[in-house]
Structure 1
Amino acid sequence: MGLGHYAVINSVWDAARTLLHDWPVDDGEEYLEAVKACLDAIIGDLPPDHVRAAFVRAAQEAGIAVIEAAD
């Protein structure tokens, strides 16, 4: 991602792709939990809302702002 860039995350697949290809750091505890959450959700062991929470925590850990869309 980088300064001034943004991504719209609409699915577990989008979250996984962003974490694996565009994330600025790959060694934080929350980052690793978010990657694991994505994998667990892809195989059906975790609901998407848990992935979202893990993704937001990883973003906070990495200093990435998260803008939440209204439901």
Structure 2
Amino acid sequence: MKLEQGQIWKTNPETHSHNGKPLYLRIVQLERLSVDYKEMHDPKTGNGQHKHATKKQFCRMIKGAELSEG
């Protein structure tokens, strides 16, 4: 799996969710060891919260996730 800026990932509810519903994570800024991303309930609206994680933490969040066409 290769992470790229602008990708939108639909999380696996068992790994990363809100009230049992999957979240969408859009990569905003990708650096060598860190990822800035936006956590959204619906990728079409674009409403969400900007967050920061290490690459290792981000990869754990998207374990079992699917890459969305977005």
TM-score with structure 2 setting the length: 0.33
TM-score with structure 1 setting the length: 0.33
- Report which of the two has the higher share of strand: 2
- Report which of the two has the higher share of helix: 1
